[in-house]
Structure 1
Amino acid sequence: MAPLGNTAKSSPTSEIQERARLKRAERYEGLAVARYWLYRHVQRVDPARNPGDVYRTHDCRYVRRQRQVEVKVSSETNVAHYAGLATCGSVWACPICAAVIQQKRRAELTKLIQWAYASGYVPAMVTFTAPHTAFDSLADLKAKMTDAFTRLRRGNSWDLFRKRCGFDGLVRSTEVTYGQNGWHPHTHEIWLIKGMSQFDQAGFVQFVKERWAKACMASGLLKSDDMIKRWHFGIHAVDVRFGITDSDYLAKQDASRAWGVDHEMASQSAKKAGPKGVHPHEFLIRREKGDGARFMEYIHAMKGASQLFWSRGLKAWVGIDDVADDEAASDETPPDEVSRVLGAMSPEQWSLVRKLHKRAQLLEAAEIGGWDAVLSLLYSLGWSPYE
């Protein structure tokens, strides 16, 4: 039977696997902290309520949906995961669901980019930011940015712009970070452009910048008489990149942590917030003073918001099924892979695993040594088949 320790760094593949397992362990640690913070919040607000009824993340990958908890492994990559547990499907509150959902959204975006070029479009990535201070609440910033985007995309001049540059749809990703200047909500968008015959790229960018500045001033995000902020706004508020590829776009999102936390926590989670800030899921790992309150503010402000928005009809146009986040999170099997059941745990076994915080360690044991290694771990935790 294989040992349960970390895999030896004998090859690039083993190093990648080890890093992935470390990230997964931190995600489970983060989920455990989120569960505690959510429980504590409910106890303060309404102790008579069941925390799981208020926040689905409280029960995520903790409460059983069926009698036995299955351990499944990918037939292609040997990555293990659980089946038969409650899942919350929250990209905002849950670091595990966020990672699972992002993995599946990446496949959709790859298909979109490939379809766009095959259909004669030039996909552009447009990033929008706005001024913010440490005194701004996330809910207020979010409301003002929503209003600004509504103003950006209405009126005759916008309709004419769309026709002149052949703008036929978009995909928008909403991202939130926290840094020295407080909350920083911003968006990354893929615009599908075809036939910019009446626009050069410089004119295109200038029009978008001017429209965004007017929208932000009308929404209260930017003061018209603050010339210093307007100068910085003109430099940083809009970034446009034409002709993006799959790797260009997705690498950009990895670096900025859009659509959840893809390469999160393993090396960056302990880093203090700098000018660019950190993703709120890192609050769950670093746990500095005030992080619990900031995490609660974050999930309350973002509740019900779509992290990834597609223009109406675009998914059907590209040939992508519309799968909701909670459905995408319910099965951790990666896209285009199949999983097999390695074994199943009894309620007593699962209760022991979660009580001793060994959910990530058990998955690692399954990947390294199969079901025999899982049983060996259970024995080491004090489980006996004769009790």
Structure 2
Amino acid sequence: MDDSAVSLRAESGQGTDGGAPLGNTAKSSPPSPQAKRADRYEGLGYARFVLSRHARQLKPNAMAGDVYRTVDCRYVRRDRTVGVHFSAVHQGAHYSNLATCGSVWACPVCCALIQQRRRVELAQLIEWAYANDYRPLMVTFTFPHTAFDTLEDLMAKQKQAFEFLRKGSPWDKFKKRYGYGGLVRSLELTHGENGWHPHTHEIWLIRDLSPIEEVAFVEFVRERWLKVCERVGLVTEDKRFAFMLHAVDVRFGVSQSDYLAKQDASRAWGADREVATSTSKSGRASGVHPHEFLIRRAKGDSARYLDYVHAMKGRAQLFWSHGLKARVGVEDVTDEVLADESLEPADLLGLLSADQWSLVRRRRKRAQLLDVAETGDWLQVLRFLKSIGWDAYA
């Protein structure tokens, strides 16, 4: 069994560190609530904590204060105690008084929280658009790349291309012709046989178009994207034909309930989900998300992950046109705020002492303790602590 498999088993209560699996923490503890949630957390909560631990192991502790804030995320205490909270409304549990990094790129745990909350904003955007006589569409932009291209170079050229795309009188006339009312762009990044693959999904707001207008619309966007990509060096003459076939995809009249063609292993994506949760996608034919490096840990994956963290630092995953959030009525909230679970209304079940939190970390039971806390019973949490080695009288 490889290290990743051992880590997943350890974090999910099947490990070799002496902790008992959930449902067997004490004879008087009912196993059914935890057992019912086991599959869900094996694939989501547990895995995210495992990935965050792998990320922490990759990053030099000496640099934890800057690029590597993920080193401390949901691991280092910000106070003497760690709060354990339960929300009866959401049937979920979370910690407080822990450091959070708020990185949608580097941190698997913060990424999941931020994206799900951004999804609500995008659903609000689409609902507002239809109510105000716009017809939202989705445009996906890609471009050729090779295994020899560096991520920083591709990102710089992509940024230039988008700046040129939306400059000049042709673009101004285009916006006026189609009643363009703004956009939201989501940046997605995968890695495959041909190296890094940055691409975007954008929701554009336009007026309702006839079939003939839709054809002219797509033709303009494709030709203009080709022109700006040639200008910044993202496409060469020999790749123009393939570029025109694959580099731009336009889907008209999207809604939050539409299911798009893009799917991962078992999930279909609506327009709002496609944009907001793009970085959560795992393996697919065109490549894997960089978080996959933390799972497979093949030769070169550590270096690739660190390159990724450096290149994406400071970049926004979601970009809204100037003034669009205010028009839609969406509050401008940072990723750091969205990643802070302690801001959500929830009941405080109890406080973990510094020694108790140290034990939970050492036993790799951060996710499993939250699963127990979802019973809403602090006594169950105390029994769980005892099952992993806590002695209140030591």
- Whole-angstrom CA distance in 1 between matches of 2:182 and 2:141: 17
* Structure 1 counterpart of 2:139: 126
Q: Which moved more, 1:22-31 or 1:275-284?
A: 275-284
5+ unaligned residues in a row in structure 2: which ranges?
1-27, 260-268
- Is the 8 Å Cα contact of residues 80 and 363 (structure 1) preserved in structure 2? yes
* Structure 2 counterpart of 1:318: 328
Deviation per residue, 1:67-89 (Å, 9 max, x gap): 21111122123111111111000
Deviation per residue, 1:201-249 (Å, 9 max, x gap): 01000000000000000010001x21xx211111110001111010227
Written as runs of structure 1 = structure 2, the 5 A alignment for 1:280-295 is 280-295=290-305
Q: CA RMSD in A?
A: 2.2
- Whole-angstrom CA distance in 2 between matches of 1:143 and 1:20: 38
1:18 aligns to what SS in structure 2? helix
- Is the 8 Å Cα contact of residues 147 and 196 (structure 2) preserved in structure 1? yes
5+ unaligned residues in a row in structure 1: which ranges?
9-13, 43-48
1:289 aligns to what SS in structure 2? coil
Q: Choose which of 371, 387, 392 in structure 2 pairs with 1:380.
A: 387
Q: Choose which of 203, 216, 225 in structure 1 pairs with 2:216.
A: 203
Quickly say closer, same or farther: Cα 1:332–1:244, change in 2 above 3 A. Answer: farther
1:247 aligns to what SS in structure 2? coil
* Structure 2 counterpart of 1:93: 106
- Whole-angstrom CA distance in 2 between matches of 1:255 and 1:147: 24
- Whole-angstrom CA distance in 2 between matches of 1:85 and 1:188: 33
* Structure 2 counterpart of 1:278: 288
Written as runs of structure 1 = structure 2, the 5 A alignment for 1:39-54 is 39=60, 49=62, 51-54=64-67
- Whole-angstrom CA distance in 1 between matches of 2:170 and 2:197: 29
Shift of 1:111: 0.5
* Structure 1 counterpart of 2:270: 251
Q: Choose which of 356, 369, 375 in structure 2 pairs with 1:349.
A: 356
1:28 aligns to what SS in structure 2? helix
Shift of 1:180: 1.2
Shift of 1:107: 0.6
* Structure 2 counterpart of 1:301: 311
Quickly say closer, same or farther: Cα 1:108–1:300, change in 2 above 3 A. Answer: same
* Structure 1 counterpart of 2:45: 24
Q: How many residues align structurally?
A: 358
Shift of 1:339: 1.7
* Structure 1 counterpart of 2:339: 329
Q: What TM-score do you get using the length of structure 2 for normalisation?
A: 0.85
- Is the 8 Å Cα contact of residues 68 and 346 (structure 1) preserved in structure 2? yes
Shift of 1:170: 0.4
Q: Which moved more, 1:167-176 or 1:373-382?
A: 373-382
Deviation per residue, 1:121-167 (Å, 9 max, x gap): 00010000000011111111000111111111101000000000000
* Structure 2 counterpart of 1:260: 279
- Is the 8 Å Cα contact of residues 178 and 206 (structure 2) preserved in structure 1? yes
Q: Choose which of 345, 359, 366 in structure 2 pairs with 1:359.
A: 366
* Structure 2 counterpart of 1:2: 29
